[in-house]
Each structure stands twice: as structure tokens, then as C-alpha cells.
Amino acid sequence: MSKVSEISAWLDAQVPYATKMDFDNVGLLAGEPEREVQRVLCALDITDEVIREAAEIGAELIVSHHPLIFHALKSVRSDDLVGRKILTMAKQNISAICMHTNLDAASGGVNDALIAALGVQDAFPLGGEGAMPRIGKLPVAMEFSEFLRSTKAALNANGLRYVDSGRSVSVVGCCGGSGGDFLEEALEAGCDVFVTADVKHDRFLAAKEYGISLIDGGHFSTENVVVPVLQQLVLRGFPQLDVRISRVSTQPEQFFM
């Protein structure tokens, strides 16, 4: 039977924890390294609902993209959001492995999954090897309105914020999560549209003035595409395990139209 520490070591070998950004926190962040594992739950975020789901299905381990512990902790208390999760997981003997920025730029990681979901072919890193954004071409150019609809469907997003440059879409750039600062790189590379999330007001203004279309697909929707990747990563090393994708990890924000 496989142990938490063995699964963590395998994931580290596939997408090295050391490639994370300096501010980040990845790897085995909570739990018992020697705990034997039969069932794993994969999710974008470790929420109270995801922890309950893991307990209900008997998962000994949660593998997530976003880290359970991100900021330094001075206490672990039940009246604190993070502390409550840690204590609940400890009571249920559930461990947590998190793969965050080390998975963002990795080959086959977040941004490769996103650009593939958008239907783009022959994609490559925008900015060279190790860069997070991706760029590529659609098989057939389409009107922006059509691309907007296909993007919403591909990401299963509750809604999209966007700037329409008025031109058709052929060259597509993307960056899952907060990628608004890559707008100029996308423009210089000849992108007709840039798909990302967490776009600030000034970035929408800049896109309008530059004449490049910009789509904010939401942080959850532009990164949740990587959860099946996490599932397959674990299964590739441990095919005997029951590895499931969370059914309760969903986009937290709603839209009033």
C-alpha cells in the first residue's frame, strides 16, 4: 500500500516543488507522512466542503492546486478559517499535498491545460521555456463573439468579463489565474485575444486602447482545468489507487445579470 510521503515524492519528481515561485507554499503541507493511502481526492481548492467530501468518501489524501497554508501561521485555532480546516483534517486523519506555482508553468500543467481547453493548436510558452503564459493559433479563425461563447462553454464559467477589439480571433494567448500583467507580452506577440483572470480596471482600459481583445474567465474557471491533470499525475505513479475529482469544488462567485 502507498504512503502519503511516497505520493508526495512522486509528485515532486514529476513537477519539482523547487520550481515554485519564492512566495509560494507547495508540497506536503498537512498530515501524516507515513499514513497509508487507498483513496485520493483532487480539487482546485481545499474548502470546508471539499474536506467533508474527502471524509465522506474515505479519502486519506487531498491533492489540490491552491495551497491549504499560504501565509505564515502564528496559531492554529478553530475560529480561524485556515486553522479550522487544519484541525478538521487532523481529526479525520486527512493529509494535503498542494501543487501551485510549480504546476503553473510546467509542461502539461495549468496553462497547457487551459490553452488546450480553448481549442488552440501548436501552443508554446509566451516568453520562452519556463514562462507561464501560452500562445497558439485556432484551427480556423472565428468572430470574437463566437470565441467568447466557446470560451465560456470550455471553461464552464458562470460568466465572462471582456473587452472586444472588434477583430476576428486567430492567435490566442492565455494565462490561468492572475495574468493581467502579461497583456503587453501578448500584444507584442501578435495575440488577437488574451484569456486570463483577476483582471484589474487599468488592464481593461489598456486592452481597449491597445486594440487587443481581453477575456477575464475567472480565477477558478481558468485554473480548474488542471484538476484532471492532478488526477492523472497521481494515477500515473499509483494506478492501484482510487483517485477522484471533487464534485463540490465549484466557482465561488456568482453573477447578477
- Residue 104, judged by CB atoms within 10 A of its CB (0-12, 13-18, 19+), counts as buried
Q: How confident is the model at residue 256 (pLDDT cuts 50, 70, 90)?
A: confident
User: What is the pLDDT, as a whole number, of residue 18?
Assistant: 96
In the predicted structure, residue 61 carries a pLDDT above the cut 80: yes
Confidence of residue 36 (pLDDT cuts 50, 70, 90): very high
C-alpha distances out from residue 214 to 12, 139, 153, 167, Å: 34, 20, 17, 12
The order of strands in the sheet holding 169-178 is: 121-125, 134-142, 169-178, 193-197, 213-216, 161-163
pLDDT at 257 over 80: no
Residue 208: Cβ within 10 Å count: 14
Q: What is the pLDDT of residue 199?
A: 99
Q: Is the pLDDT of residue 100 over 90?
A: yes
| CA gap 98, 89 in Å, rounded | 14
Whole-angstrom Cα distance, residue 232 to residue 96?
A: 17
> How far is C-alpha 87 from the geometric centre of its chain's CA atoms?
25
- This model's pTM is above 0.85: yes
Dump pLDDT digits (tens) for 123-146: 999 988 889 999 999 999 999 999
Phi/psi of residue 190, each to 5°? 90, 20
pLDDT at 255: 86
pLDDT of 113: 98
44 touches 230 (CB < 8 A): no
- Domains recognised in the chain with CATH numbers: 2-102 (3.40.1390.30), 110-223 (3.40.1390.30)
